[in-house]
Amino acid sequence: MSVPSGWPGRIRPAPEHFLSQEEVRAVASGRRDFLRSAFALAAGATLAGRAGAETAQGDPAILELPEWSTTLGRPVAATPYGLPSQFEKALARRQSPGLTRVPGSSVAFTPLQGLFGIITPSGLHFERHHQGWHDIDPRRHRLMINGLVDTNAVFTMDELMRLPPVSRIHFIECGANTGMEWGNVAVPTVQYTHGMLSCSEFTGVPLQVLLDMCGADFKRGRYILAEGADGSSMTRTIPMELVESGEVLVAWGQNGEMLRPENGYPLRLVVPGVQGVSWVKWLRRIEVGDQPWGTKDESIHYVDMMPDGLHRQYTSLQECKSVITTPSGGQVLLDQGFHNISGLAWSGRGRIERVDVSVDGGKNWMPARLEEPVLPKALTRFNCDWVWEGRPAILQSRAVDETGYVQPGYGQLREVRGSASIYHNNAIQSWKISEAGEVSNVHIR
Ligand code: MTE
């Protein structure tokens, strides 16, 4: 593969500073001048070590041997648990100030704009807690199974981890992801628009195996209730068909090591394709029952207010969706010429079949390359060549999944769902590029 028109154009990353409420409001009201000065200040501080803004052409320093070529390096195990380079500090989970009243019941977003491939590094996996997180002692943690079963059971971690494990790569997306966009808030960066999204390799035992061990009554018991051990006692009803598909895991592993405490250590439920709230963390109990429980977490949250004033409930599947992560909001194209458009696509119904990219706000579309691996209910990375000629552009991506479902535009989505929703927004995202190369979030019907 070759770069179409010579040397690729440079991109200045978005300033990785906290966005104040004033900045969010500035973007919402179109006051771009305010943000431009914020970018200028923050960019100098954060760009030093990030590829993209510098060029080696004509740099005399390239002829001098740097200290790392002439001195002894640090010894092995200087950091027993490896950490990212000091030059990558700006790449971090961030919370949106003012989004929630208390940080214990809040969200920290994954910096999608700075990641490659499909796996989210565990330390950058988004976090969403209803009542804060704990680092639970695995020796004291138990999983209880009760309800419509022959034998009630209580498992220790040791007992669970002796069962035959499976490892699978899946995305997790909070049902509230992209929620602010319903209200045309147009938050500035992809971290805040789409960053309640991560993808990991999870290791655990299929829940079906545990239910078989307990002699579950699969005929009458068409639902399970999953319950977490945190103070919120998070509870979610999950249909038994999903468990019977063998996909639902009682997982302890994430990307080759134990789950991180923020993500449910030592045990969480993995419910591929289903909104994040059903992936109950710090999992302590599974009950088998013959009807949905309708607990507080499922009757007042993660439901969709429809145009007829009724709530749509148990819409747990995350529909097909995609987003361009580069170039994306807050970044600046510094040069005309070749730019790689890169992004992520995913579907709760299975594999991604294709992704099309538009650079003119949806008038024309070109197919993007899907990078391997393309796995069911996992993130899929796409790339697309583009030559920017310095003119204003509107970048969009539109994904199609293996069932033929096509990601809708805002107009199509609002026709069915109205405008009172908070959750389950899978509309096409638009990034506007100005003549000056500045990338910003815009709404296109
Ligand atoms: N499980 C428990 N016990 N408590 C919680 O607050 N939050 C849920 C879900 N599981 C939650 C929970 C929500 S709303 C989401 S989106 C996902 O966990 C987030 O998972 P993560 O923090 O690992 O990204």
Q: Is 239 exposed, middle or buried (0-12, 13-18, 19+ CB in 10 A)?
A: middle
The interaxial angle of helices 21-28 and 32-46, nearest 10 deg, is 130
Q: Tell how far the Cα of 234 is from the centroid of ligand 1, in angstroms.
A: 8
Average pLDDT over residues 109-135: 97
Q: Are strands 430-433 and 393-401 parallel, antiparallel or unpaired?
A: antiparallel
Query: Quick one: tokens of 249?
Result: 């895991």
**What pLDDT is stored for residue 233 in this prediction?**
81
**What pLDDT is stored for residue 57 in this prediction?**
67
Residue 208 CA to residue 154 CA, distance in Å, equals 16
Least confident of 231-235, 280-284, 338-342: 231-235
Q: Tell how far the Cα of 65 is from the centroid of ligand 1, in angstroms.
A: 49
Ligand 1 first shell, C-beta below 6 A? 125-130, 172, 174, 228, 230, 232, 234, 262-264, 276-277, 279-282
Residue of the CA atom closest to atom 9 of ligand 1: 277
Contacts with 368 (C-beta within 8 Å, 6 or more apart), sequence order:
341, 343, 354, 355, 356, 357, 382, 383, 384, 397
Residue 42 has pLDDT above 60, yes or no: no
Least confident of 28-32, 129-133, 161-165, 392-396: 28-32
Contacts with 365 (C-beta within 8 Å, 6 or more apart), sequence order:
356, 357, 358, 398
Residue 183 has pLDDT above 50, yes or no: yes
Q: Choose which residue among 128, 194, 263 to substitute to test ligand 1 binding: the one with the highest number of ligand atoms within 8 A of its C-beta.
A: 128
> How many Å is the Cα radius of gyration of the chain?
23
Give tens-digit pLDDT for 8-29: 888 888 875 445 545 544 544 4
Give tens-digit pLDDT for 184-242: 777 899 999 999 999 999 999 999 999 999 999 999 999 999 999 999 888 999 999 99
Residue of the CA atom closest to atom 13 of ligand 1: 277
- Ligand 1 atom nearest 198 alpha carbon: 24
- Ligand 1 atom nearest 301 alpha carbon: 14
CA-angle at 375, arms to 371 and 379, nearest 5° = 70
**CB neighbourhood size of 317 (10 A):** 15
**What pLDDT is stored for residue 59 in this prediction?**
72
Q: Tell how far the Cα of 257 is from the centroid of ligand 1, in angstroms.
A: 19
Place of tokens 């009458």: 220
Query: Quick one: tokens of 401?
Result: 């999944």
Residue of the CA atom closest to atom 14 of ligand 1: 277
Q: Choose which residue among 95, 130, 255 to substitute to test ligand 1 binding: the one with the highest number of ligand atoms within 8 A of its C-beta.
A: 130
Q: Choose which residue among 134, 225, 271, 279 to substitute to test ligand 1 binding: the one with the highest number of ligand atoms within 8 A of its C-beta.
A: 279
Q: Choose which residue among 124, 225, 227, 277 to substitute to test ligand 1 binding: the one with the highest number of ligand atoms within 8 A of its C-beta.
A: 277
> Which position has the higher pLDDT, 444 or 230?
230
**CB neighbourhood size of 168 (10 A):** 19
- Ligand 1 atom nearest 262 alpha carbon: 22
Instruction: Annotate the chain with three-state secondary structure.
Output: CCCCCCCCCCEECCCCCCCCHHHHHHHHCCCHHHHHHHHHHHHHHHCCCCCCCCCCCCCHHHHCCCHHHCCCCCCCCCCCCCCCCHHHCCCCCECCCCCCCCHHHCEEECCHHHCCCCCCCHHHCCEECCCCCCCCCHHHCEEEEEECECCCEEEEHHHHHCCCCEEEEEEEECCCCCHHHHHCCCCCCHHHHHCCEEEEEEEEEEHHHHHHHCCECCCCCCEEEEEECCCCCCEEEEEHHHHHCCCCEEEEEECCEECCHHHCCCCEEECCCECHHHCCCCEEEEEEECCCCCCHHHHCCCCEECCCCCEECCCCECCCEEEEEECCCCCEECCCEEEEEEEEEECCCCCEEEEEEECECCCCCEECEECCCCCCCCCEEEEEEEEECCCCEEEEEEEEECCCCECCCHHHHHHHHCCCCCCCCCCCCEEEECCCCEEEEECCC
Q: Tell how far the Cα of 126 is from the centroid of ligand 1, in angstroms.
A: 10
- Ligand 1 atom nearest 131 alpha carbon: 6
